[in-house]
Amino acid sequence: MSAPYFTLPEFKYVKPQTLEEALKILAENAGEAKILNGGIGVLGFMKERMIEAKILVDIKGIKELKKIEYMPGKGLVVGATVTANELLQYLEKNPEIKKKFCALYESTSELADAILRNRATIIGNILEGLPYTDAPGPAILFEAEVKAVSTRGERVLPVEGLVLGPMMTSLEPDEIVTEILYKEPPAGARTGYVKFNPGLEYGYVNVAALVANPDNPQKRDVRIVITSATTLPFRPKAAEEVFKQDIPFEKAAELAAKKIEEEIEPLSDPYASAEYRRYLASTLTYKLLIKLARGE
Ligand SMILES: Cc1cc2nc3c(=O)[nH]c(=O)nc-3n(C[C@H](O)[C@H](O)[C@H](O)COP(=O)(O)OP(=O)(O)OC[C@H]3O[C@@H](n4cnc5c(N)ncnc54)[C@H](O)[C@@H]3O)c2cc1C
């Protein structure tokens, strides 16, 4: 008899080669079938008996899901089965696109380790719904949308609000996310990502930020997304609003950091207390914003 935990329960494995075939299997087995992408999250959660699936539908054989395409003015489309390393390689080969989506590049470089990045997909990382993962921050920063397809048709959903908790999303059980669109940032915007993770792979606090026109309050655009500090990604809208005031950027960044400190409701766990995360969220955001505004 095998041990109850850390061994996989029995399940049926299927690997359709077309999207239609995969959608049909999901529609016929709604609630019993789950999608297997890189598999790191889904297999781990099944081993720990935190989720159940009678059928795992491996979508990696569906060729059309392995696409990366930049559409000038619209944004960057990343297919559902694109791994972290494939995205990094694409961005390294296309320095202009990498520059535009710098926060995406930096966060993907920080995602787990080189071996896991060969397997982990960007979409799987977002849909896994763990507070500590690296892909959700830049997705929300670039106001990304996913395309969700089922036998009933397709719909487009913003990434912000898509995840409800670990392994919980607002997707229907028979829907496949086929791609994610990272929207084109404003002209001249600088973006970046910081991950504070001494001695760990996951971050205690991760911050993604975008700064455009820092010296012109009328045209300034500042976006901030904090992850790993709270259960779900935190977009401190009150802190972003501060940058609309007619005050120097550095002053606005100070006020924004204070707003974050007041408004964030951080997690407390054995790695970091809520107070430490509050301090990190505010300080890391301030430093990142100043760095982006100065073009360092
Ligand atoms: C030792 C270790 C260290 C790690 N460190 C980090 C780290 O530092 N940073 C970090 O971000 N992550 C880290 N992770 C987590 C890892 O990166 C994620 O588990 C992985 O990215 C999930 O992607 P996946 O492709 O394996 O998804 P899967 O496990 O295949 O899927 C995850 C979930 O999404 C669903 N799903 C997947 N694709 C689709 C789709 N196209 N449509 C609909 N539903 C879909 C699945 O059904 C499942 O519910 C670590 C994991 C381990 C084991």
Q: What is the pLDDT of residues 203-248, one digit of tens each?
A: 999 999 999 999 999 999 999 999 999 999 999 999 999 999 999 9
Instruction: Assess whether pLDDT exceeds 50 at residue 191.
Output: yes
Mean pLDDT across 36-61: 95
Tokens read off for 9: 């329960």
Distance CA 175, CA 184 (A): 26
Nearest CA to ligand 1 atom 19: 41
Name the region of 134 (left: φ>0; alpha: ψ -120 to 50; beta: rest): alpha
The residue assigned the tokens 């569906």 is 62
- With cut-offs at 50, 70 and 90, classify the pLDDT of residue 58: very high
Tokens read off for 250: 């550095």
pLDDT tens-digit readout, 114-126: 999 999 999 999 9
CB atoms within 10 A of CB 104: 29
φ/ψ (deg, to 5) at 116: -65, -35
CA 109 to ligand 1 center in whole angstroms: 15
Instruction: Assess whether pLDDT exceeds 90 at residue 201.
Output: no
Indicate if the alpha-carbon torsion angle 112, 114, 119, 123 is positive or negative: positive
Distance CA 57, CA 59 (A): 6
State what percent of residues in the chain have pLDDT above 90: 93
Q: What atom in ligand 1 is closest to the CA of residue 59? A: 41
CA 153 to ligand 1 center in whole angstroms: 25
CB atoms within 10 A of CB 134: 29
Mean pLDDT of the chain: 96
Domains by residue range for the chain, with CATH? 12-58 (3.30.43.10), 63-183 (3.30.465.10), 190-294 (3.30.390.50)
Indicate if the alpha-carbon torsion angle 266, 271, 276, 277 is positive or negative: negative
Distances from the Cα of 213 to the Cα of 19, 109, 118, 235, 278, angstroms: 43, 27, 36, 20, 28
What is the model's pTM?
0.96
Ligand 1 shell residues, CB under 6 Å: 34-42, 59, 80, 111-112, 116, 120-121, 123-125, 127-128, 133-134, 167, 171, 176-177, 201-202
Nearest CA to ligand 1 atom 31: 124
